[in-house]
Structure formats: structure tokens, C-alpha cells
């Protein structure tokens, strides 16, 4: 298994950070690789299936995940289910109180053949680095107040 973990301090409460990150309408606005995000039934929930479209290195990709844990305002765990291989990922996002707001942590557990998993980890790390300024900008928008 290959692991990527990144974190950022967000100038808001865990409740607000979770609400913004957990809103399907914000997924494509936060994560550079996602172009479309649609949970079945229109809302994120534990046990729910999520359909995503995106681009990886310029190539179109369709993905599917299942939300394994939905624990507002603390934790979201999503397990990739499609494509079926060779690399699989479980994504855990946590939101903890911090003296400056919220410590948001993003952990990707990636399984599969080591060379492919390592390349995928590099891409996930790049995606995370792009997501932090986007999330901070979204937090500054008056319409994103929860």
C-alpha cells in the first residue's frame, strides 16, 4: 500500500469546513481533477454511491466511489469502486478543531502494483496541492457561508 497524507489549517469551524467539503456542488470547485460529481439521490450519505468524471493527465476518466463513513463534522471516508483496477483508493477526510480554525486532513490509501500506485500517489498529491487554494477561496465567498 502507498499512502498520501496532506493537511491544511482552514480559517473556519469544523462544521462549516465539513459542510462545504461535503456539498457535492463544491467537489469540482475544490478538486482540480474532478469535472463532475453526482452522488445518487443528490446528497452525500453513508452507504451512498458517488459518480465522478474527471481528467487525469488530460485523459477523461469516469470513477465511482461508495461513502463508507459520513460523520459530520468529523470524518468522511470514500472507497473507490470503479474503475476496478489495477489501482484502488480509499480517501479519508477529517476535520479537527485547531487554534486557528480547523485542521483538515486528506489521506489516500492506495493499493495496487507498486509502480502504478506510486504514480497515482504523485497525481493525488498534485491534486491535493491544487485543492487547498481553491478551498480557501471558496471559504472566502459570501455565498459559501453555512
pLDDT for res 128? 93
Interaxial angle between packed helices 114-140 and 14-21, expressed in degrees from 0 to 180 and rounded to the nearest 10:
120
On the CB side of 50, CA atoms within 13 Å amount to 28
Kindly state the helix (H) or strand (E) to which residue 139 belongs, with its residue range: helix 114-140
**CATH assignment of the domain containing 70:** 3.30.530.20
Domain total for the chain? 1
pLDDT for res 136? 95
Residue 106 has pLDDT above 60, yes or no: yes
pLDDT for res 39? 97
Burial class for 66, CB neighbours closer than 10 Å (0-12, 13-18, 19+): middle
Mean residue pLDDT across the chain:
93
CA quadruple 31, 32, 34, 37: dihedral positive or negative? positive
Average pLDDT over residues 73-91: 93
Average pLDDT over residues 24-53: 94
Average pLDDT over residues 82-99: 93
Report the percentage of the chain scoring pLDDT > 90.
Answer: 79
Its pTM stands at 0.92
Q: Quote the domain boundaries for residue 85.
A: 2-144
Average pLDDT over residues 45-55: 95
Residue 58 region by backbone torsions, left for phi larger than 0, else alpha for psi between -120 and 50, else beta: left
pLDDT for res 57? 77
Distance CA 124, CA 140 (A): 25
Amino acid at each position: 500500500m502507498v499512502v498520501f497524507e496532506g493537511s491544511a489549517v482552514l480559517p473556519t469551524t469544523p462544521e462549516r469546513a465539513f459542510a462545504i467539503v461535503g456539498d457535492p456542488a463544491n467537489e469540482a470547485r475544490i478538486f482540480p481533477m474532478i469535472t463532475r460529481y453526482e452522488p445518487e439521490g443528490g446528497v452525500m450519505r453513508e452507504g451512498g454511491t458517488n459518480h465522478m468524471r474527471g481528467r487525469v493527465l488530460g485523459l477523461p476518466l469516469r470513477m465511482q466511489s461508495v461513502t463508507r463513513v459520513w460523520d459530520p463534522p468529523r470524518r468522511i471516508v470514500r472507497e473507490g469502486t470503479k474503475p476496478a483496477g489495477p489501482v484502488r483508493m480509499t480517501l479519508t477526510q477529517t476535520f479537527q478543531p485547531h487554534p486557528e480554525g480547523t485542521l483538515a486532513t486528506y489521506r489516500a490509501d492506495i493499493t495496487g502494483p507498486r509502480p502504478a500506485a506510486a504514480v497515482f500517489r504523485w497525481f493525488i498529491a498534485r491534486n491535493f496541492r491544487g485543492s487547498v487554494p481553491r478551498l480557501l477561496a471558496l471559504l472566502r465567498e459570501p455565498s459559501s457561508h453555512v
